[in-house]
Amino acid sequence: MNEAEEARLGVLGAGVMGTGIAVVAIGHGVPVVLVDVSEDKLAEARHRVEQQLRHARLMGAVPAKGPVAGLTTTVELADAGDATAVVEAVVEDTEIKAKVLGEVSRLVRPGTPLVTNTSGIPIGELGRFVARPHELVGVHFMNPAYLITMVEVIRGDLTGDGTMTAVTGLLARMGRRGIVVRDAPGFVTSRLLHPMINEAARIVAAGVSTADSVDELMSGCLGHPTGPLRTADLIGLDNLVDALRALWERTGDANFRPCELLLEKVAMGHLGRKSGKGFYDYEKVLS
């Protein structure tokens, strides 16, 4: 990975995060193999990548000029086997992540960094399932990944120096600034943000305030850019519930137990922006 054109990124999962990460890579000249289990989902992902790439260029999040690297989509995990780095971006479920990471770790060449885009599952926990734990590192991309240029980089106890050097170099090549933290449930961002969102939802459920008023107060008084509940809709309420449960199970802290309002919204399919309805109503669009 000495030259940008030599890098080849495998991205596993063509959902919201996987497509956003793919946009970042190809927009900075790094070819991507995007893997998912569904051809229909991959077709949708190609359209979303095209839309987001245009938006990213307009916003200056990727170079406005210069060649865009190639995007290959496939349902075959083996097609990511010759990547120089692999990013796992599947759902926030330990069992699924462990299965995917374990399989791809046995397909790639030794020395290939494996990146998990988890929002809170400890890297050491996932490292038990890969062939070479020293090649596993966490990189928590924020949504929308193609616009937010800072990422949280989580070094597990077994993550090797070579892996850290390769991954931080790749992130820099992709125009991302990584802040390195140590391994722990929730790391830094989720450990702080998720219980705040959970409490904001409890406040709404108790009738103390509307979602809009909570967000206005947090934005106008405390400087939160969008407010916790608009942020929740952007994250995806299903993803948020999964991440809260993971934190609750690992810490025993009741503040992380998903509140009833979040559970109700997920059960109704009100998942936030991606479903068209969450704490707010949205026009359902692929972007």
Of the candidates 28, 134, 140, 194, the residue annotated as catalytic is 140
State the Cα–Cα distance between residues 13 and 69, nearest whole angstrom.
Answer: 19
Going by their DSSP bridges, the two strands 150-155 and 136-140 should be labelled as: antiparallel
Q: Please say if 47 is a catalytic residue.
A: no
What φ, ψ does residue 284 adopt, rounded to 5°? -75, 115
Side by side, which strands form the sheet with 177-182? Answer: 71-74, 32-35, 9-12, 85-88, 114-116, 136-140, 150-155, 177-182
Q: Which parts of the chain fold into alpha helices (H)?
A: 16-27, 39-58, 94-105, 123-127, 161-173, 189-205, 211-222, 228-235, 237-251, 260-267
Q: Tell me which long-range contacts 281-285 makes (C-beta under 8 A, separation of at least 24).
A: 282/233
Chain-centre distance for alpha carbon 1: 23
The 3-class secondary structure across 15-62, one letter per residue, is: CHHHHHHHHHHHHCCCCEEEECCCHHHHHHHHHHHHHHHHHHHHCCCC
> In the Cβ-directed half-sphere of 52, how many Cα atoms lie within 13 Å?
27
Residue where the block lists tokens 């305030």: 209
Residues annotated as catalytic are: 140
